[in-house]
Amino acid sequence: MFERFRSLLKKKQPAKNIALFVDGPNVIRKDVRLDLVQVRKALEKHGTIKVSKIFLDQYASDKLIEAMTNQGFEPVITTGDVDVTMAVAAMVQVHNPHIQTIALMTRDIDFRPVLVKAKELGKETIVIGSDPGFSVALKNTADIVIMAEQR
């Protein structure tokens, strides 16, 4: 009996640690209205979310910042281009040995180089987005594509 239990323990793979980065201005929009709770649930099928950051510009309202915090995201407010700050933060996690998966929630092709470098360094990549405007190149570069549902 103990041998069977031991063999079951050996077969179970440890959950992958995921770093999630959300391009706020690109996906948190009145015309898009994505369900972030559904996104987190879909992503958790692929591992455990250890880093969860949403990047917002300086014009983000206090209500939006509070709502994102309440949903478990760490808001990062930028005064310049959100894309640059998010790409740098993602690359930091690409080099983190405790993170196995890089997940980007965006529709923007500007993040393709992050996915390419992450894959080159052995990380699994996930891109989360929605149509219209979801970059085909981004979808074709990522290992996994999650289509986010609109509310």
pLDDT, one tens digit per residue, over 113-150 is 999 999 999 999 999 988 888 889 999 999 999 998 76
DSSP SS3 for 69: helix
Instruction: Report how far Cα 143 is from the mean position of its chain's Cα atoms.
Output: 13
Question: Where along the chain do its domains lie?
Answer: 17-147
17-147: CATH number:
3.40.50.1010
Give the whole-angstrom CA distance, residue 128 versus residue 46.
13
pLDDT digits (tens, 9 = 90+) for 48-83: 999 999 999 999 899 999 999 999 999 999 988 899
